[in-house]
Structure 1
């Protein structure tokens, strides 16, 4: 009877871990789960170096720079204040969405079909379509009119997802936005169990025909695919640029 009880507990524990890994590309261990719940200050103290300015300053505590220039009057006026480091603005389960861009260089995954534990989102200006969102490598991100936002749901699967690879985030994840409200950023679990980044509920995608940063070859495809705006909305269509795609 005791042995049966212990077996049941093991099964329940493993089921719990499987549940954690359902939306992501790897199974989390109990140690991962604990690490993901560390206070922000402890996590950041490992990743971010202490401010360069100020002798012997503590990590995360800004001190006036010794080389900061006084005001023109020479009476010890304003000093330059270092930019504030990003803090966690929102948490969705095991994903932390920060208040701004990372203070350290992040190299995005070159393979669009592979997710990453750290994702950058940047708002970029364009004369033709207005402001749209790219990843940290400058690659255009799109939204699909057939998707749902309440609740968020991706309807692009199979051959559609081959042509329009979803922007995936792995566990434990961090998202650093620039020019986008972190409160409207999140993720949704796809039909294949992976986690796809969302902006205001809209799942976002790459387009396989975009070869280099800034390409907009997916803009207006089938009048359903558009570069996503920082609000999650659609950007303007490019005049005389209607395209068709057999997958959707």
Structure 2
């Protein structure tokens, strides 16, 4: 019986290590904070007041914190070896290079749009989308192969960090894809970029096929552009 117990305990330990190594490169030790590109002070920002009408060529407004000094973000949630923080980083971040399995640091910004409502963009200002054929409970991605070429998933590599601004960090997480990579989720929904969006603020993927919509900070669809169908054609 003692031998069987030791074998069972060894199997559990190996399974735990495999789970920690899922979705990213195996690294010993806890997730370390991202390095600062240069010493900075905590930024201040005025509360945005989105205009009631969209103006051509006007960059989207990022929803930021009130005009008070920002406290250093704290860990609000941990999933595997990915830490989700309480807000945007208070220093300039220098993530490890993306090797095709995602970045070690991901920024998410709530962004105001007069056309479609508040949506989420990544740290480069690129619009993030949800796919109606995915699932939020449990989080499931159904966009693979050619679909993932047109709609690249937003990936995070562990040990990693996610810094949301204008988004409840408790709604942020990731789901492991079939290829072992980690796809960021908001409200349980896997999020994607659109290959045809060329500049920050582009929403060319809005309403495509009646199933793709920029994702809101709560994981819901944003409202469609005028003339865009809201359901997929049968």
**What TM-score range do you get, normalising by the shorter chain?**
0.7 to 0.9
Aligned ranges 1:1-248 → 2 under 5 Å? 17-24=17-24, 26-28=25-27, 32=28, 34-36=29-31, 82-106=69-93, 114-241=101-228
**Kept in 1: contact 2:35–2:95 (CA 8 A):** no
C-alpha spacing 1:23/1:134, structure 2 compared with 1 (3 Å)? same
Distance 1:120 1:81 in 2: 21
Shift of 1:83: 2.2
Shift of 1:16: 5.6
Q: Relative contact order, CA 8 A, sep 6+: which one is greater?
A: 2
Distance 1:219 1:109 in 2: 31
C-alpha spacing 1:11/1:106, structure 2 compared with 1 (3 Å)? same
Count of equivalent residues:
202
Distance 2:198 2:93 in 1: 20
Give structure 2 stretches of 5+ with no counterpart: 1-8, 43-66
Give structure 1 stretches of 5+ with no counterpart: 1-8, 37-42, 54-79
Distance 1:199 1:118 in 2: 16
Shift of 1:85: 1.1
Partner SS for 1:35: coil
Distance 2:97 2:15 in 1: 33
**Kept in 1: contact 2:120–2:215 (CA 8 A):** yes
What is the aligned-residue RMSD (CA, Å)?
3.5
Distance 2:120 2:34 in 1: 29
Distance 1:14 1:220 in 2: 45
Distance 2:223 2:164 in 1: 22
Distance 1:182 1:52 in 2: 23
C-alpha spacing 1:102/1:17, structure 2 compared with 1 (3 Å)? same
Partner SS for 1:161: helix
C-alpha spacing 1:205/1:113, structure 2 compared with 1 (3 Å)? farther
C-alpha spacing 1:35/1:156, structure 2 compared with 1 (3 Å)? same
C-alpha spacing 1:133/1:112, structure 2 compared with 1 (3 Å)? farther
C-alpha spacing 1:149/1:112, structure 2 compared with 1 (3 Å)? farther
Q: Structure 1 length as normaliser, TM-score?
A: 0.70
